[in-house]
Amino acid sequence: MTQGLAACLESPDADVGRGTTELVLTKFAETARAWSQEVTDLCCWQDDHLLDAPNADALERNRTAIRHLLRLGSLLGRVVEDGNFEDAPTRDMVAATMNTLRDMDRLWASSPMPAAEADAVLARVFPNVA
């Protein structure tokens, strides 16, 4: 046992672990923000590389990135869902980012509609537009 902890335990009003807890929660919030920023960065990458004519390699890299970010988000989510987690802004950010990732996964996991089929749908919905 360290001398600092031993001395702290001797005090009747000791707050054992408070400093470590604050450090961990600060680092956790920083990590969650960095993860959320990676999701934002991925959205920008998708706009640049996938919207017009995505190739199979880019789609696979995107799926891999989404699944990796979802796994990390799942771990972060377990922490923020704990009843003792008091950082509401971080909790809300993790929830919103996970929703974004789930939407991304649904959007990019499905096969794109063939152009002829997409044109037919648009023609049925907007018959007077050329």
Q: What is the mean pLDDT of each run of 10 residues along the chain (130 residues)?
A: 61 69 91 98 95 90 96 97 95 98 90 81 86
The 3-state secondary structure of 64-101 reads HHHHHHHHHHHHHHHHHCCCCCCCHHHHHHHHHHHHHH
- The answer as to whether 55 is a domain residue is yes
Give residue 27's pLDDT.
Answer: 96
Quote the number of domains for the chain.
Answer: 1
- The answer as to whether 90 is a domain residue is yes
- The answer as to whether 94 is a domain residue is yes
- The answer as to whether 43 is a domain residue is yes
Q: Is 100 exposed, middle or buried (0-12, 13-18, 19+ CB in 10 A)?
A: middle
Give residue 23's pLDDT.
Answer: 86
Give residue 114's pLDDT.
Answer: 83
- The answer as to whether 80 is a domain residue is yes
Sorted by sequence, the CB contacts under 8 Å of residue 65 that are 6+ apart come out as 42
Output phi, psi for 55, to 5 deg. Answer: -95, 165
Give residue 9's pLDDT.
Answer: 63
Give residue 50's pLDDT.
Answer: 92
Give residue 65's pLDDT.
Answer: 97
- The answer as to whether 109 is a domain residue is yes
Give residue 93's pLDDT.
Answer: 98
Q: Which domain holds residue 59?
A: 15-125
Give residue 4's pLDDT.
Answer: 64
pTM of this prediction?
Answer: 0.75
Give residue 130's pLDDT.
Answer: 64
- The answer as to whether 5 is a domain residue is no
Give residue 81's pLDDT.
Answer: 96
- The answer as to whether 65 is a domain residue is yes
Output phi, psi for 105, to 5 deg. Answer: -60, -45
